[in-house]
Structure formats: C-alpha cells, structure tokens
Amino acid sequence: MDDVIIIGGSFAGLAAALQLGRARRKVTVLDTGLPRNRFGHHSHGVLGHDHKPPQDILAAARQQLARYPAIKLVNARADSISGVIDDFSVLTGAGETLKARRIILSYGVADQIPHVPGFAESWGTSIVPCPYCDGFEVADQHWGVVWFGPQSHQSVRLFRDWTDKLTVFADGHDIAPDIQADLAHRNIPVVDGRIVEIAHHKGHISTVNLDTHRHIAVDILFAQPRNKPSASLHESLGLATVETPVGIALKVDERRQTSMPGIYAAGDLATPFLPSVTQSSWQGAMAGIFAQHSMLA
Ligand SMILES: Cc1cc2nc3c(=O)[nH]c(=O)nc-3n(C[C@H](O)[C@H](O)[C@H](O)COP(=O)(O)OP(=O)(O)OC[C@H]3O[C@@H](n4cnc5c(N)ncnc54)[C@H](O)[C@@H]3O)c2cc1C
C-alpha cells in the first residue's frame, strides 16, 4: 500500500510528490500528460523558470523526482476512487487497483473552448486567458477583451496597466449602462454582436468576425472560457465545491483537505481565483506536507 496516491502529475501533483518523496513517504503519481497550459508556447511568472516552455518545466521536475526512490510516476488515468481514510482504492484505466492511506486530487481543469471557427486554433497563441501569463510580450499592442460578465469590468481596468488600446467585445452580453458609461469615459470602445469566427494565420489572430458582419482587427484577444474539472472523481465521491465566475473549484480547508477526510486537493482544481503554475506548485507542496502530517504515528 502507498502512503499517498496523487491523481494528476503536473505542477500541483509533482510539487506534492516532491515533498512526500523527500519525507520518504511512498507515493504513486498517476498522470495522463495533458496540463492545461500545453497550448501555450512559454510559461511566464514562474520564478526561476520564466519564459520556458511549460513541458520543459515539467520534464525537468520529473527528472528531479527520479532521485527519490519512494516516488513512482505512472502514465495512467485514475478512473475511480473508493474506500475511506487509511484504506482508499484507486482503479486505473489499465484495470489495476492501487491502494493508499491518503489521496491528493490534482487533475486540473479543462477550458471549454467555444465552437467558434478559429478559436481553438488560436488558443494559447493569440487568444489567452491571463495578462500575467501573456501580457508583457504584447504590451502597448491592440488588445481585444471578450466580455463574460460583470467581472470583465475589473479585467478591463487591470489591462490598462499593459495597454491603452483596448476594444471590448460584448459577445451577446448586456453590459450595464453604468459600466458602458465608465468604458466610454475611458475611451474603450464596445463592439456589439456575437463572435462567429476568428480569422487567423497559424493561430495568430487577424480579425474577430461578428454576426453583425463587422470584422475587427486586434493583435491579441483575452478570453475567459468556462472550465470544468478534467475528471469527475470528486463528483462520485460527493466532494463539496465552490462556485467561481467560470466554473467550480473543490472546497478545501486551510490544510487543503477536501470535505472527505483523507482526500486533499491542489492546483487549478481547487483554486477559485487567479490560477497559475506558482499557486498550483505552492498548493501541491502544502497538500503533500499536510497529508504527511495527518499520517504521523
Ligand atoms: C493558454 C494558457 C496559458 C497559461 N500560461 C500560464 C503562464 O504563463 N504562467 C502560469 O503561471 N500559468 C499559466 N497558465 C495556467 C496554468 O496552466 C495552470 O494554472 C496550471 O497548469 C495548473 O496546474 P495543475 O497541476 O493544477 O493542473 P494541470 O497543469 O492542468 O495538470 C493536470 C494534470 O492531471 C492530469 N489528469 C487529468 N485527469 C486525470 C486522471 N483522471 N488521472 C490521471 N491524471 C489526470 C492531466 O493530464 C494533467 O497532466 C496558463 C493556462 C492556459 C490555459
């Protein structure tokens, strides 16, 4: 039996494994190799790894974990979890049953890319979700912002730190009159209509095409598609969740334990606000440490 099975071996899961492996706890990490930022060419804002391809950061982490004999990295999907604290079973996609005293869920979230031609092809290249991740490289250029609710007002105010050339795409949303007035006061145009196509060349956007037959040129488009957890294991377990503006996140306490004793969560799956590689790594490390603390004799 393992001490801990970690489901999802990306930034959060590997950070948890690192702490547990250094504490000489027996760990298996199950991973299907699809980190959320795999569409991005470089990862930014990660101390010591700024502007590196995300897969390179993960490959280096996996290589470093090879030092620790108690850590086993397995390329497999977790299909179900059963049992209770000190006696959990995880069934893998290969039909193997693994047992552990604790579980850490770090299987991330999947962005629900809209069915708009050109959107998926441009995602991560010229359509991006986060200014901290991709804003610096396109500072002072013309940014489009896809409105997704009242939170977008704060985003637009934030984006002014990177550029004065902003265009808001209402994309079918009714923007409240007081917000419209504020945007007008800031000289930020609002374009009505739904986005029906992203015209691009190899993922580099040329125009945002609307159902009003307007074609608006921008250099980069910031969008926050809804997301959902990459697996449904938490649903089968009935774990508590919290609402976020773009989906749900698992509810955890200050020790990163979910609503079920012995099951911990880290990374985007349990981050209601500003998900990032740094947050995921920090949360993963803490989940690993607190899982270890909970097993002391
Ligand atoms: C386009 C884009 C660009 C980004 N750029 C940046 C950036 O520059 N800087 C930054 O800090 N953040 C960036 N992010 C955010 C960053 O990608 C996430 O915060 C980070 O990947 C979350 O790490 P995680 O470990 O929680 O989940 P993920 O990295 O998403 O990893 C989850 C892992 O779990 C695996 N998995 C899923 N289901 C199962 C299962 N059932 N069994 C086993 N394994 C499973 C997946 O294959 C995956 O490997 C970006 C996001 C996007 C979408």
pLDDT in tens, 166-203: 999 999 999 999 999 999 999 999 999 999 999 999 99
pLDDT score, position 258? 98
DSSP 18: H
Q: For residue 143, what are the contacts with CB-CB under 8 A and spacing of at least 6?
A: 159, 162, 163, 165, 166, 167, 218, 219, 220, 221, 222
Tens-digit pLDDT profile for residues 242-269: 999 999 999 999 999 999 999 999 999 9
| Domain 119-222 in the same topology as domain 2-111+226-293 | yes
For the question of whether the overall pTM of this predicted structure is more than 0.85, the answer is: yes
Please say whether the beta carbons of 88 and 103 come within 8 A. Answer: yes
Q: Is the CB of 267 under 6 A from ligand 1?
A: yes
DSSP 214: -
Distance (angstroms) between ligand 1 centre and the Cα of 287 equals 17
Distance (angstroms) between ligand 1 centre and the Cα of 178 equals 36
pLDDT score, position 87? 98
Average pLDDT value over all residues in the chain: 97
- Report which protein residue has its CA nearest ligand 1's atom 52: 37
Q: Which CATH class is domain 2-111+226-293?
A: alpha beta
Tens-digit pLDDT profile for residues 121-172: 999 999 999 999 999 999 999 999 999 999 999 999 999 999 999 999 999 9
What residue spans define the domains of the chain?
2-111+226-293, 119-222
Distance (angstroms) between ligand 1 centre and the Cα of 212 equals 36
Distance (angstroms) between ligand 1 centre and the Cα of 158 equals 24
What number of other Cβ atoms are within 10 A of residue 178's Cβ?
9
pLDDT score, position 52? 97
pLDDT score, position 220? 98
Q: Which atom of ligand 1 is nearest to the CA of 46?
A: 11
In the chain, alpha helices (H) = 11-22, 54-65, 119-122, 131-134, 151-159, 177-185, 233-237, 277-293
pLDDT score, position 235? 97
Distance (angstroms) between ligand 1 centre and the Cα of 33 equals 9
Q: Is the CB of 111 under 6 A from ligand 1?
A: yes
Rounded to 5 degrees, φ, ψ at 227 are -135, 165
CATH number of the domain at 119-222, out of 3.40.50.12240, 3.50.50.60, 3.40.50.12140, 3.40.50.150? Answer: 3.50.50.60
Q: For residue 102, what are the contacts with CB-CB under 8 A and spacing of at least 6?
A: 3, 4, 5, 85, 88, 262, 263, 264, 291, 294, 295
pLDDT band at 50 (very low <50, low <70, confident <90, very high): very high
Q: Is the CB of 107 under 6 A from ligand 1?
A: yes
pLDDT score, position 73? 98
pLDDT band at 219 (very low <50, low <70, confident <90, very high): very high
Q: Is the CB of 218 under 6 A from ligand 1?
A: no
What residues are paired with 180 via a beta bridge? none
